[in-house]
Structure 1
Amino acid sequence: MTALTLYVAVDGNDSWSGQANKPFATIERARDEIRKIKKPGNIPEGEIIVEIKGGTYYRDQAFILNNEDSGSEKSPIIYQASKGEEVRFVGGKHVKGFSKVTDKDVIDRLDPEVRDKIYQADLKAIGIEDFGNVNSGGIELFYNDKPMTLARYPNDGFIKIVGLVGGDPVDVRGTKGDKIGKFIYEGERPNRWVGEKDAWVHGYWFWDWSDQRHPIESIDTEKHIISVKPPYHGYGYRVGQWFYGLNILAELDIPGEWYLDRETGILYFMPPSPIENGQAIVSVQKTHVNMENVSYVTIKGITFEAVRGTAINIHGGNDNKIVNCTLRNIGSWAINISGGKNNGVIGCDIYEIGDGGISMSGGDRKKLEPAGHYAENNDIHNYGRWNRMYQSGISMSGVGIRANNNLIYDAPHIAIFFSGNDHIIEFNEIYNVCYESNDAGAIYAGRNWSMRGTEIRYNYFHHINGFEGKGCVGVYLDDMFCGTLIYGNIFYKVTMAAFIGGGRDCTIENNIFVDCVPSIHIDARAMNWASYHVATTMTDTLKEMPYQNELWSKRYPELVNILDDEPAAPKGNLVIRNISVGGKWDGIYNEARPYVTVKDNLVDQDPKFIKTPPESFQLSDDSPAYKLGFKPIPIEK
């Protein structure tokens, strides 16, 4: 039942009534009208709808909602796009007035083949003075609704480090490098970067999963040495690692690249199509929506784009929903939910995101009280566009958060990151993630004995192989992470599909592994190279929780006496009733094997799929796996 409908339109007027024929111009005006209606304390029963007519709304401020803007269970408030109409909230400015470059100094820096193809526009002339930082949170250019590339070399791929000259060696368990950011580059191309105003390099300097941007301090073209400005990368630098140069005017050489002179405010751009027929937008605003301690508010069917920070922030409150929205071309996260209860994201398209997709945190770990937040049926891809590592499609932190029926793909690093207790991760499809990293996981958690109770079930992982095909992990329980159930999942062409990195009390049960190398990995790292964590990080984080009180001891009885029960040993792990075909089955280390129970698995025998995978992973009724106790996986869900 609808109690009240207010209308907003691009051609509306905030002095009008907000009725269908007299719409408001802004959602702020509609919000304020609802406040007036609610003030007597007689909020009408039924839905209160703010219907936003189709069009592009250039936003010059965030939409702020606080406790007084809450609905109720019987009177929810819904801000929604008109049915069948496209509503776009744009946090940037439309850039017009492009002209060909005529400045000789600029032209001389450009490749001769593209000099007549570069256009320029003055951003200061349209009122933009704050350009942000090259490293993070700065201005971006979008053209015809797609993010453009800050001028770089190589245009695709990386340059290799071929030597180190810092003079401060570092050795991490036999992996050697140097602490100082001074290295020898391959090839001649960086010689062109000498004289650039603000050239940077972005690289994976020591490990394949840890990146950082540096401004360039100097380039020695004779010795092929690049020196970067401190602070240096925390792990150091290593021969064979890779980087590229960026924010370099001289490398503006293919369609879709841009460069901004932050001193003059001049934007240089090589458009991928005729500039007179396209639309260029630069991001200006930090965020679109901030909801603070709001409850029973739904935002539905709106496209949010072109902000430098996180598009939608929900802090506190309960029973709020973001439904069927599109979030694209965002500088940081698409949606951040922190605190509160039962807030959710449903059916959203999330792509071309600078950092991650949906971040959810909440609940009380000491009391094991669940947050109840959820991400359901979302399409999340091409995230980690700017900050490449540890920016996940979905992040879950706290207690009792759910991620289900999401499609997550095409990303340089993690699909789902979780920490905390008692989460549910189910019915998701994940593929082509971790493509720019190694020693990484599609689903990842690590280094805590007390974070337990999460169930990873009925997910489909496929084609996850890491950078240059060197290998990545499907479910990665890193550095002694414990107490996780991996049940009923399908892994197809995933390297190191189910990985227990020295943890305890984990179960790998009723999964199907096809062409995985290996299907399972279990090691005993806390008994050897990672032993220093046992008395420090692992014990410290354990003691932060009341793990021996009545509540915790009933929920996690294995924890009560862990410090007196060979805490470094990977005890209590079960590998039971799985199917493994092709690839390699067993990656259990010898030190771990005595502590692991492995039984009733169907390995390298024909399980009798009804069709050859990946066409189908369903088993025929006479599959020998059923005789071992294997249960059907609800693939249709």
Structure 2
Amino acid sequence: MIRLYVSVNGRDEWSGRLASPNSDESDGPFASFERARDELRRLKDEGKFRDGAVIYVREGIYVRSSPFVLSFEDSGFDDVPIIYRAYPGESVRVIGGVFVTGWEPVSDPDVLKVLDERTRGNVLQADLSVLGVKDYGDPDSGVQLFYKDKRMVLARYPNEGYMEISDVVVYDRDVRGIKGSTVGRFYYSDDRVSRWLNEKDPWAHGFWFWDWDDQRQKIKSIDPGNRLISMSEPYHRYGYRKGQWFYGYNLLSELDSPGEWYLDREKGILYFWPPEPFREEYPIITVAKNLVVMDDVSNIVFDGFIFEVVREDLFLIKGGRNNRITNCVLRNTGEWAVKIQGGSGHVVSGCHIYNIGNGGIQLNGGDRKTLTPAGHKVENCHIHDYGQWRLTHSPALLLDGVGMVVRHNYIHDAPNQAIIFRGNDHLIEYNEIHDVCRASNDVGVIYSGRDWTWRGNVIRYNFIHHVTGYQDNKAMGVYLDDMLCGTIIYGNVFYKVTRAVFIGGGRDNIVENNIFVECDPAIHVDARALGWASYHVDTTMKERLLAMPYKDRAWRDRYPKLLNILDDEPAAPKGNVIRRNICWKSRCFEIYDLAKPYVKPGENLVDVDPLFFDSEKMNFSLRPESPAFKIGFKPIPFDKIGLVKD
């Protein structure tokens, strides 16, 4: 096996065959990832690559302004991959940003005039142009600041929570009686907004119409006399509504708390109130969009690194086969930790993922028309504190395509969903999820919806607990939205989850052998396609059905109930099976009147003590004498749920 070495003390003109510089410094490790990659290319061209290769990267901080790029020619082989590995026992940080130095007190009288009097002595400034940072982007998707492994706050008001829209100027939108405006002009009640009149580039971040959709928008003007804010176009896609919430940000005048910052993008001057005096490390400003880009490359492993601080995504994997990211720390991003776009057999395992601006890992792959699986997997990862910048539509895991597996992950503390799945034949199992969906409502911990053809998905042996939504206004555990069909929900445990399983008018779903404790309700079924959502049947639903070859042999064999759906009351919630579930201290069923002719729950254990081993300590394993076994309930392998220790 070929062994090469990279070190912060290395030189690219050396051989790369030594782990450390030799005594006379005539040879030693390489200095860069690129030099090691190019050496492997040379060895492969010379036919010397037979038994695989390991590139050991020695301890240190590797600062990058552009991604490390691997392409087809850098591939390993199925039986002998190329492994990039942090040297055993050493900490290797790969950073896509610049440490900000050269801090000094604010002296510009115009800036001091804008800052609060109590703030002035605490705020420091640094010139980013001196550090070579000149591309700042905008306050929506531009630079971000991290300090001591935490995302700092772009100066905002209020510092926590939100203000409310007191009214809109024009009422021209009505969604099932919910009235609002398509025009981005609305009234506010907090006089503090008048402080923003002279701001160079004020923005606002809000849940403008629905509780489940946020957006950042530029403020066009403020009229303090009428307490009126006008937003820049394009306006929010759903409009604006009285009572919805927002806050202002990118406001120098609101830099009034430790950890807040503001960037004058015209002058390149960064203002920052450090939460503590600088000692061991300076703040880092994001520069690189990505850290690793893998384009049509296969059989590559990254193992044991810390990858952090990018404007967009740490890893971007396009095509290829059998690439693996293992035992890494992935943190401090503007967007995603990992994006996998196509290819097959890619795996992320054993990683700790946190402080993520958007979602955690995005998986795309497989061929829906042939039902060919992608085989991507996410296993044994600890994912938390994601969705820090994009609060909605930013799950820990997004599955899109065919045949992906997510298992034994621990997901918690986030504003929105844990898992969104789209497509077919995904397996979601043995995950523990709690305290998500904290900033929005009408969302699900595990979510999918609005497609008859997204079938064959299995959600089993997951433990979902302590999920109630924003201001305890209800979120769902497993949310099968808008007529989603053919999903199996088996052997899961739901504890203190509002609307634990939600079937929104779909059909052919199976809810079996689950445990519901303190859920209200445990299982919801409605018939929305027979009522308010009927317009979707002949539009979105039918269009998506006809876009798939659902009458072809592969589809007929896999999903026989889909074949004649258009001739079998397609709007009706037929074929749902609810049986052998345990409902304890819960309102078990919420079945709407239009759905009742089609939904008849089977035998379930309702309001009978199931005899858990220790529910106070969240051990919901059943005692041998549990009455649940008399209805055919099968034991749930509760001790196997969550992370697996090595």
Q: TM-score, normalization: structure 2? A: 0.97
Partner of 1:19: 17
Residue 125 of structure 2 aligns with which residue? 120
1:502 pairs with 501, 505, 511, which one? 505
Of residues 552, 555, 567, the one that matches 2:555 is 552
- Mapped to 1, the partners of 2:630 and 2:619 lie a distance apart of 21
CA distance in structure 2 between the partners assigned to 1:591 and 1:531 by the alignment: 13
Match of residue 138, structure 2, among 130, 133, 136: 133
- SS for the counterpart of 1:542 is helix
Which whole-Å CA distance do the structure 1 matches of 2:228 and 2:30 have between them?
Answer: 60
Aligned to 1:295: 298
1:465 alignment counterpart: 468
State the partner residue of 2:2: 4
Equivalent residues in 2 for 1:479-558 (5 A)? 479-558=482-561
Distance (whole Å) between structure 1 residues aligned to residue 220 and residue 316 of structure 2: 37
1:64-463 superposed matches below 5 A: 64-136=69-141, 138-165=142-169, 167-275=170-278, 278-463=281-466
- For 2:323 and 2:54, the matched residues in 1 are separated by 14
Picking from 15, 28, 32, the partner of 2:34 is 28
CA gap of 1:233–1:60, structure 2 versus 1, over 3 A, is closer
Distance in 1 (alpha carbons) for counterparts of 2:618 and 2:320: 44
**Partner SS, residue 197 of structure 1:** coil
- 1:172 Cα deviation from its structure 2 partner: 0.5
SS of the residue 2:73 aligns to: helix
Amino acid at match of 1:452: R
Distance in structure 2 (CA, Å) of the matches to 1:615 and 1:436: 25
| 8 Å contact kept, 2:483–2:504 | yes
SS of residue in 1 equivalent to 2:119: helix
CA distance in 1, matches of 2:221, 2:62: 44
Q: What letter is aligned with 1:11?
A: N
Note the alpha carbon deviations across 1:28-58, whole angstroms, 9 max, x for none: 111111111111345222x410000000001
Paired residues of 1:287 and 1:307 also in contact (CA < 8 A): yes
CA contact (8 A) 2:514 2:580 kept: yes
> CA deviation digits over 1:345-379, x for unaligned, max 9?
00111111111100111111111110000000001
1:295-349 Cα deviation digits (max 9, x unpaired) = 1110011111111111101111111100011111111110011211111000111
After TM superposition, give the deviation of residue 575 of structure 1 in Å: 0.4
1:488-547 Cα deviation digits (max 9, x unpaired)? 000000000001100010000000000001000110000010000000110110011111
- In 1, the alpha carbon distance for the partners of 2:340 and 2:80 equals 22
1:38 matched to 2:27: no
Normalising by structure 1, we get a TM-score of: 0.98
CA drift at 1:126: 1.2
Within 2, Cα distance between the matches of 1:404 and 1:41?
A: 39
Counterpart CA distance in 2 for 1:289 and 1:315 is: 11
Counterpart of 1:578 in structure 2 is 581
Report how many residues are paired: 632
For the residues of structure 2 that align with 1:406 and 1:163, how far apart are their CA atoms? 43
Extract structure 1 runs of 4+ deviating beyond 6 A: none
Once the 2 structures are TM-superposed, how far is the Cα of residue 175 of structure 1 from its aligned partner? 0.3
Q: Tell me the distance in 2 between the aligned counterparts of 1:80 and 1:409.
A: 28
Q: Which residue of 1 aligns with 2:636?
A: 633
Structure-1 separation of matches of 2:415 and 2:300: 33
For 1:210, what is the secondary structure of its paired residue?
A: coil
Distance in 1 of aligned mates of 2:47 and 2:556: 46
Distance 2:132 2:171 in 1: 47
Q: C-alpha distance in 2, partners of 1:162/1:407?
A: 40
Residue 551 of structure 1 aligns to a residue whose secondary structure is helix
RMSD across aligned C-alpha pairs, in angstroms? 1.0
CA contact (8 A) 1:212 1:233 kept: yes
Once residues 56 and 501 of structure 2 are traced to their aligned partners in structure 1, the CA distance between those partners, rounded to angstroms, is: 47
| Superposed CA offset, 1:210-269 (max 9, x none) | 111121111111221111111111211111110000000000000000000000100000
1:565 and 2:568 equivalent? yes
1:590 counterpart = 2:593: yes
Q: Verify the 8 A CA contact 1:492 1:614 in the aligned structure 2.
A: no
Q: Deviations over 1:73-129 (max 9, x none)?
A: 222110010111100001111111100101111111111111110000000111111
Residues 146-192 of structure 1: per-residue CA shift (max 9 Å, x gap): 21000001111000111112x24211100011111111112211111
Q: Is the 8 A contact 1:43 1:75 kept in 2?
A: no
Distance in 2, matches of 1:442 and 1:455, equals 15
Q: Deviations over 1:456-501 (max 9, x none)?
A: 0000000110000101000000000100000000000000000110
The letter for the 1-side match of 2:159 is N
Distance in 1 between residues matched to 2:203 and 2:611, nearest whole Å: 55
Residue 66 (structure 2) aligns with:
61
Q: Which string of whole-angstrom CA distances, capped at 9 and with x for unpartnered residues, describes residues 538-580 of structure 1?
A: 0110011111121111110001100000000000000000001
Cα distance in 1, alignment partners of residues 526 and 60 from structure 2: 56
Q: In 2, distance between residues paired with 1:409 and 1:619? A: 25
Q: Which amino acid letter does the alignment assign opposite residue 7 of structure 2? A: A
The Cα of 1:145 is off from its aligned counterpart by 2.4
Residue 644 of structure 2 is matched in structure 1 by none
Structure-2 separation of matches of 1:546 and 1:222 = 60
Q: Does the 8 Å contact 2:171/2:179 carry over to 1?
A: no
1:177–1:238 contact (8 Å) kept in structure 2: yes
Instruction: Return 5+ residue gaps in structure 1 as ranges.
Output: none
Aligned residue for 1:115, secondary structure, equals coil
Q: What SS class does the counterpart of residue 615 from structure 2 fall into? A: coil
Equivalent-residue separation in structure 2 for 1:448 and 1:74 (angstroms): 39
SS in 2 for 1:208: coil
Instruction: Report the CA distance shift for 1:437/1:52 in structure 2 as closer, same or farther (over 3 A).
Output: same
Q: Which of 583, 588, 602 is the aligned partner of 1:599?
A: 602
Matched residue SS, 2:594: coil
Query: What letter corresponds to residue 142 of structure 1 in structure 2?
Result: F
State the SS of the aligned residue for 1:258.
strand
Q: Distance in 1 between matches of 2:368 and 2:448?
A: 16
What secondary structure does 2:387 align onto? coil
